[in-house]
Structure 1
Amino acid sequence: MNYIELQLHVSPDYTDILTAELAELGFESFVETDEGVNAYIIDADFDEQTIQELVAKYTSQTAIAYEVSSLEKRNWNAEWERDYEPIEVADSVRVRASFHQTDARFRYDIIINPKMSFGTGHHETTAMMLEQQLSLDFTGKTVLDVGSGTGILAILAAKMGARAVLAFDIEEWAVENARENADLNDCPQITVFQGTINDINSPNAVLNWVPAVFDTVLANINRNVLLAEIPTYTDLLKENGYLLVSGFYEHDAPDIQQKAIEAGLIPVKGMATREWTSLVFQKSDSGVATQVAVASTLFATTT
């Protein structure tokens, strides 16, 4: 069968929500690009009218354009296996698919079969989050992974010794994928549910074990969600706990940092790669709150 490739040119802040919208329309797989996201659907299932309606829905919120092209019949699994190369992070983490062989040189071996979810480590924001995690001690800790996608961040936390990891995503297919990847990596301490940050403290049988607060919160999302939810993440952190965030550009970092400081967090470390940024914050206690006033540039640019 032939496939249609839809190339969406849109701000990174909207790639996740548009991916979710396209999944509802029957698109089967997605690839993030520098311009936005490419989506793929069986030719017979494609309806350009629905795409025009989707674009019109968001035109007032962001600049958005699209291109459609027809792809010849091809073996998608074979091409995915050919193109998906293992990712290596800081000489300590190797992210691979299940068909790749292990490499004993790396301390943490993570198997990710992404299906339709993002988070294979190929995107700069995911790789930076993994590298930031390596600087923390997860032994015996509790962790919250916000918008978990493939579950890759939760899996590294578990492999680094976390005793309990709670991960969630708004998309059912992402939740299923994260659960499958947790099983592939033998991480029974990971619990994944479908929902939002507002469900953390809501009555839910799945979440009965959740502590009132977490040692670490991981959030690789986008600028708008982070600005709205950082105060909530802070409330869910233990004193001296850590918040790791990414999913935004360098020019958005000052806004993210200011929101975190206002919420009572202290900037600890920053990292930037190809204009993308990741930041680490620590929840302050009364004795160190004054350090916030002298927080300065935190970016250590990487390649």
Structure 2
Amino acid sequence: MPWIQLKLNTTGAQAEAIGDALVESGAVSVTFQDTHDVPVFEPLPGETRLWGDTDVIGLYDAETDMKQVVAMLEYNPLLGLGFIHKIEQLEDKDWEREWMDNFHPMRFGERLWICPSWRDVPDANAVNVMLDPGLAFGTGTHPTTALCLQWLDGLDLEGKTVIDFGCGSGILAIAALKLGAAKAIGIDIDPQAIQASRDNAQRNQVSERLELYLSKDQPENLKADVVVANILAGPLRELAPIIGQLPKAHGHLGLSGVLATQAEGVAEAYQALFQLDPVAEKEEWCRITGIRK
């Protein structure tokens, strides 16, 4: 069915209250989007992560009288008369089908392909990960995931144990297993991510080698030869005392979900424990890697 979208700009401090006002005015959903197109992946438990310059987008049924909606919103003290906004008619599409049609097999590094589960693999002799992300983050299309996949493809994972911290769809853990790892452990705060990872592991016939835990349930004293965490700069800094203890001595660490401008701050949180490599960058995003001292 067609929809109408109302979009306005505000600050992070006011965004949630304005989002509530849109819902009260009849919006069926509200989305917060960074004005500068900086995506959000993994908020901390109980946290709604916002930005300094935030677009608040309300989605309304196509039959909604938007003049009446705007008039109602003008009474809100955070908006007022004549508040700046944009109203758009959204094309009626099968959005799930459109997304599926535009998700193509992608190659990372020398050996690895990420392939949508509903498409044929381009190279039957390659290392192919069949993926359906479901509601979880991680398809390989974002630069941070691509950076991690390329890094994993370049490691000797034969017989190793890998921890994927913030596993999302399971793409990194499953790729590691297909690249030769003996065992992978996926950890996430979101039950939907655990389910998506489990489904994708079964799809790739590696479920018997993948352990999955909600972060609150992860075993104590976990250790691995390789640890990868593709989350956000803030959590990477805050969780450095936890993530930094996961690699074994001389084990590998890979961090992403970090803008190039944030790399120095994240690296500082890990440099005492790790011999860090030069930062790798892709489209303003970066990957920080190192070896446990």
Task: Please tell me whether residue 111 in structure 1 is matched to residue 130 in structure 2.
Answer: yes
- Indicate the residue corresponding to 2:228 in structure 1: 218
* 2:262 maps to 1:277: no
CA contact 2:105–2:121 (8 Å) conserved in 1 = no
1:191 to 196, 211, 217: 211
Partners in 2 of 1:151 and 1:12 — Cα distance? 23
Q: What per-residue deviation string (whole Å, max 9, x for no partner) do you get for residues 54-106 of structure 1?
A: xxxxxxxxxxxx97755343223321222112222124221111111112266
Give the total of aligned pairs: 243
Unaligned ranges ≥5, structure 1? 23-34, 53-65, 203-210, 285-303
- Conserved 8 A contact 1:94-1:106: no
Partner of 1:16: 42
Deviations 1:246-266 (A, max 9, x none): 00111211112221112x110
Aligned to 2:253: 243
Write the distance in 2 (CA, Å) between the matches of 1:158 and 1:88: 17
Deviations 1:26-79 (A, max 9, x none): xxxxxxxxx9999998959xxx9xxx9xxxxxxxxxxxxx97755343223321
- Secondary structure of 1:238's counterpart equals strand
In the aligned structure 2, how far is the partner of 1:278 from the partner of 1:36? 26
User: Structure 1 residues 249-258 or 100-109, which shifts more?
Assistant: 100-109
Provide, for residues 120-171 of structure 1, a one-character-per-residue CA deviation record: whole Å limited to 9, x for no partner. 0000000000001122121111111111111000011111222221102111
1:215-251 CA-to-partner distances (Å, cap 9, x unmatched) read 1111001101111112222222211001111001112
Q: Is the CA contact (8 Å cut-off) linking 2:105 and 2:122 kept in structure 1?
A: no
Asked if the contact 2:187/2:218 (under 8 Å) is kept, the reply is no
Change (3 A) 1:201 1:193: closer
- State, as a whole percentage, how many aligned pairs show the same letter: 27
SS for the counterpart of 1:136 is coil
1:243-302 residue CA offsets vs partner (Å, 9 max, x unmatched): 11100111211112221112x110135310111000111001xxxxxxxxxxxxxxxxxx
- Give the equivalent residue in structure 2 for 1:25: none
Provide the secondary structure at the position in 2 that maps to 1:180. Answer: helix
Indicate conservation of the 8 Å contact 1:3/1:40, yes or no: no
- Cα distance change on mapping 1:120 and 1:261 into 2, 3 Å: same
Pair 1:141-2:141 in alignment: no
**Closer, same or farther: CA 119–15 of 1 in aligned 2, 3 Å:** closer
Does residue 92 (structure 1) correspond to residue 92 (structure 2)? The answer is no
* Structure-1 residue corresponding to 2:218: 200
Instruction: Judge conservation of contact 1:13–1:223 (CA < 8 Å) in 2.
Output: no
**Structure 1 stretch displaced more, 99-108 or 271-280:** 99-108
- Secondary structure class of the residue paired with 2:290: strand
2:21 is matched with none
Cα offsets for 1:177-235 (capped at 9, x unmatched)? 11111111111201222235xx4335xxxxxxxx7421111100110111111222222
Q: Which has the larger displacement, 95-104 or 240-249? A: 95-104
Q: Specify the code of the residue in structure 1 equivalent to 2:258.
A: F
| Counterpart AA for 1:142 | T
Q: How does 1:18-57 map to 2 (within 5 A)?
A: 43=61
Task: Write the letter of the residue equivalent to 1:245.
Answer: L
**1:42–1:165: structure 2 CA closer, same or farther, 3 Å change rule?**
farther
2:108/2:153 contact within 8 Å kept: no
Q: Who is 2:173 aligned against?
A: 154
Q: Distance in 2 between matches of 1:39 and 1:96?
A: 32
| Unpaired segments ≥5 residues, structure 2 | 6-30, 63-68, 74-84
Provide closer, same or farther for how the CA distance between residues 38 and 201 of structure 1 changes in structure 2, counting only shifts above 3 A.
farther
Deviates more, 1:271-280 or 1:74-83: 74-83
Matched, 1:178 2:204: no
2:76 aligns with none
**Structure 2 vs 1, CA of residues 145 and 67 (structure 1 numbering), >3 Å: closer, same or farther?**
farther
Instruction: Flag the structure with higher helix content.
Output: 1
